[in-house]
Amino acid sequence: MEQAINVAFVGMSVVFIILILIAFLISLLSFFIKEIPQRWKHKKST
């Protein structure tokens, strides 16, 4: 029983960690995709 609880806890934690990681990296990726072209344009115009 204890092993089952451990597996459930580990499993749920891993699912959360991976999805949080994906969410974080998507946000980062979106930020760069939006920001870099804008900064590039700004740099060119100045």
State how far the Cα of 26 lies from the Cα of 3, in Å rounded to an integer.
34
The CB-of-30 to other proteins minimum distance in angstroms stands at 6
The CB-of-35 to other proteins minimum distance in angstroms stands at 12
The CB-of-45 to other proteins minimum distance in angstroms stands at 21
Q: Note the residues at the interface with other proteins (CB under 8 A).
A: 1, 3-5, 7-12, 14-16, 18-27, 29-30, 33-34
Buried residues in 23-39 as b, exposed as e (16+ CB within 10 A):
eeeeeeeeeeeeeeeee
